[in-house]
Structure 1
């Protein structure tokens, strides 16, 4: 690695600064049902401990010594959906909060461990390509919904209210709630802007230190202090400290409602597809940024091992954190020590009896979720428009809206059906070949441009001809298209020389040459 052990410590601390506030936000998403409110001094620590277990798996098994992995956003909505299914079912049948917590902290980790085993099998039998059959616009619609959900959860954290439905935005009509939410919305916007425009990668962690520092400076300069801020709703209520030994006492196996497994299975299946797809995307993105090929199947199996370890230790779904892995790669600290130090720091946070929620500004914790929300919404509703066909973008929007209306599982299924219908209509269209007038937009030397103009683009006998192909090309129609092209450019199939040119022009020959 570059720079020695001191640099490794510095970059490990930066990764923790970025991770921990977000993990508190993730806990607020997973356990967003009001029944969990009294235990929010303990539940975030389970999410952080789970992230420690993920990091352990990546440090031991990843091919990348600098890999960073924690609980990740891809599975959040599914975990939240399952925790809400469990809570509503138990409470509606007259059950207790203890039953809800015990059942949730058994079934969600079991689902995580089972997900891990599925990913290991997929990686072992090299089935990562099968994940690609889930249409990308459908996954894009789901990721946009994650963005919306993180935005809503971030606002909920700012105002200390439970927000799960569209109607819950009405909380912001209360002037005090709006006052509490605006700094979080603004800070999230600042973090999003910095992450997308800053050329120095240190800017984001610096901003995440400056934002709460400014808050503390203001409350102490005005004489309000922490207690005054608490009365105003800017920091969380004082809750009893939670020793690490108490975390695992949250689960009482005798209170677990095992029958609820059947009600969560459909959501779990959706989670398997989406988490595996998102993990493959993360691996591909890391590979592209590094400029080196990675074995997607091996890395998918590594993600599976990490989820199995996490699930067996009352943990939750996770994967590579693309942004932090690439950040660490670019620092030059390509050492497993960075992962080891991150684990040690995670453990320190878990062991500490300080409740982060009662000392950290809630708008700052909320802003980390709002930042993720802004980023995902911008990427998958605005940026992606120029990368998709209009019909594909419609599939994405249809999936996004459908998840809002009919839920995650049914919404994704609806999106897949719309994508299949779109594919059928698109491929059913007969392919057409049209000659179009196009010229090179490259900057040429005057003599080269004259040569192109006289010979390449000569109106009577051009040497360069451009065709526009619309529709899908099937094996049966490719020969007819080849015949049409030869007619257009005047090649004679009877000529030996022209037959060689036609063979080089064949799409099958071209594909072969590309693979050589």
Structure 2
């Protein structure tokens, strides 16, 4: 498989890729040494060779795996700052508990190996479950606060690498002692100069040139001052050769038996945090490379590649590594066009691995410390200075707060507090989003049950008894109380007493227990005020919650009613209003008595109009017309009930409108000279009058004043239906 990818990669120009790979490899080696020195600092500095081996193993194995399988063909991978900062905290915590005990090195080494293996399994699991996108739900200010905190921790590590003294308040006087001051000031000067040059000349050769120049300059200064290598090591300008050259064994039964599992167990919270940071950093770096390269990058593929690479590196004794954004961009800028460059960079790291760690004894401490200062400074500038210009004040303040907590109390405390505060900010901001999508009264939003014109007139007059609320979003403690107070306020200010509260839930995603409690309070209030609550589009899960909390009864609930859709709920409210005024008990009016009022005709004109109509009696379930039939007849429903049905996407019939006595059906297609779009079926035995196109043409010829009155009536009818349809569309958006 490796040969397949290698053969494919050499199709691109070989020399530019080899040159870019060598440049990137030099940077990777230097970064690996810096991160090893960061993790194995302080009391662990005597075991630095173990850290170098672990870092270079990771740079080699993770680098080759990512170079071969990443979506980005110029990818460079290995240990990086975000995870190294957490690994350094974990190593420091272990060292503080074990001091110089024989179990110190085996325990720290095991921590590095387990972190890499478990993180690899975690990333593979994210890819398998296709959960890569969910890592992006971590709030952006928390990410910024973490990265700023990581920058601060890396700068602290830089002080330990250069001086052997931690950057703490009680050590301030020691840090300003001349011997220590010269060490960290030279490292800081290197970092500031590198930052200044890169801000003006962002060339791929700047970093390698600075590293080489720093190395050469250090030895020129030492030589000009007559300082020997032994004296430079004694004065902490170079790493101690006695501690670097020792070959330490990390395998075998004695080392395994020396591992302090009790101390490792305490680092599980930090390990879990690092796993999340690893996944997030991989996704952010992949997304950044996608923008830079303008090519599609498969996020889940990157997770799988990084996961497999870390699993292999952990088995080989390496620390956590992942796709590097900065080094991949540098590789591409150096002329890389294919995977060969990443392979060369990894093999360059492998060469240092097999040559041994003795080379670190000749690397100036200020050089590695300065590189750590530069990485940390970069992160602080990005999130403390640049972020101030593009983030809202509250989010920027949260970043500062997380950084302060990380610096004062620790990494986990800072990130944990940031997550809690970010959630509270989100809750407050989301509570400002209106829960009510739209609100209206029944006279402005009638149901699709078309009634006689007399009943319609009554409902227009009495429709303000129905108050309709279309809700949206997620109902939680931040919105439920405001919503409840709004309903009470509307009820108190209503000029016409409201008797029916209709709540539509079709845009609701869910609700929490406090929201359910608000609806329970609303039910008690409704019972006291003789109100009816109508719930429509109530999802099964919400319905179950309402029933469990006694907001709804399973059967025969006199207060709360539930219907499958808003239209049915409004229809029920209209029925109650009509029943209350005894209109349902009246015998239907014959069409001959309805026409004079509808068309404003005299008795003689009514008789003439009726002469153009033909009576029709149909039984229950009779299909009057079907889709595709010719629309050459218009119908007056004198008595009975008809339903207009369309076919849903699932194949089930869906009610479009129900018509009762004293209504008209089929008029739209009749006037459009089109075919029927829906079916009409009799819900019960009905009597109708039919007006054919032929008879309408005769009416226009023989009694034009009747035809004009009829056209005006139809225009008014269509305007009413258009108004109702517009409100229905608005509430569904």
Q: Which residue of 2 aligns with 1:86?
A: 94
Contact 1:32 1:162 in 2 (8 A): no
Matched ranges for 1:237-316 at <5 A: 237-239=240-242, 242=245, 246=249, 252-316=255-319
Q: Which residue of 1 aligns with 2:107?
A: 103
CA distance in 1, matches of 2:394, 2:244: 53
For 2:21, which of 3, 12, 21 is the aligned residue?
Answer: 12
CA distance in 2, matches of 1:99, 1:240: 17
Contact 1:42 1:242 in 2 (8 A): no
Higher RCO, Cα 8 Å, sep 6+:
1
CA spacing shift, 1:163–1:251, aligned 2, 3 Å: farther
CA distance in 2, matches of 1:154, 1:241: 19
For 2:159, which of 140, 155, 178 is the aligned residue?
Answer: 155
Q: CA deviation at 1:82?
A: 2.1
CA spacing shift, 1:188–1:307, aligned 2, 3 Å: same
Contact 1:82 1:108 in 2 (8 A): no
Q: Which residue of 2 aligns with 1:57?
A: 65
Q: Which residue of 1 aligns with 2:199?
A: 196
TM-score after normalising by structure 1? 0.78
Matched ranges for 1:112-511 at <5 A: 112-159=116-163, 161-163=164-166, 165-239=168-242, 242=245, 246=249, 252-353=255-356, 355-429=358-432
CA spacing shift, 1:364–1:425, aligned 2, 3 Å: same
For 2:75, which of 51, 67, 76 is the aligned residue?
Answer: 67
For 2:45, which of 33, 37, 47 is the aligned residue?
Answer: 37
Q: CA deviation at 1:343?
A: 2.5
CA distance in 2, matches of 1:129, 1:259: 35
Q: Which residue of 2 aligns with 1:27?
A: 36
Q: CA deviation at 1:400?
A: 1.2
Q: CA deviation at 1:186?
A: 0.6
Q: Which residue of 2 aligns with 1:46?
A: 54
Q: CA deviation at 1:147?
A: 0.7
CA distance in 2, matches of 1:496, 1:385: 54
How far does the alpha carbon of each residue in 1:25-44 deviate from its partner, in whole angstroms, 9 at most, with x for none?
2112222341x222223422
CA spacing shift, 1:373–1:311, aligned 2, 3 Å: same
Contact 2:47 2:244 in 1 (8 A): no
CA distance in 2, matches of 1:387, 1:250: 55
CA distance in 2, matches of 1:228, 1:496: 97
Contact 2:25 2:348 in 1 (8 A): yes
Contact 2:106 2:259 in 1 (8 A): yes
How far does the alpha carbon of each residue in 1:267-314 deviate from its partner, in whole angstroms, 9 at most, with x for none?
111111111111111011000001122111111221111111121122
CA spacing shift, 1:200–1:381, aligned 2, 3 Å: same
Q: CA deviation at 1:503?
A: 13
CA distance in 2, matches of 1:47, 1:164: 24
CA spacing shift, 1:241–1:271, aligned 2, 3 Å: closer
CA distance in 1, matches of 2:247, 2:308: 25
CA distance in 1, matches of 2:126, 2:349: 30
Contact 1:244 1:351 in 2 (8 A): no
CA spacing shift, 1:218–1:85, aligned 2, 3 Å: closer
Over the aligned positions, Cα root-mean-square deviation in angstroms equals 3.2
- Unaligned 5+ runs, structure 1: 432-472, 478-493, 510-516
TM-score after normalising by structure 2? 0.56
SS at structure 1 position matched to 2:296: coil
Structure with greater helix percent: 1
Contact 1:102 1:250 in 2 (8 A): no
Contact 2:204 2:334 in 1 (8 A): no
Structure with greater strand percent: 2
Q: CA deviation at 1:16?
A: 2.2
Q: CA deviation at 1:245?
A: 8.0
Contact 1:85 1:263 in 2 (8 A): no
Q: Which residue of 1 aligns with 2:502?
A: none
Q: CA deviation at 1:253?
A: 0.6
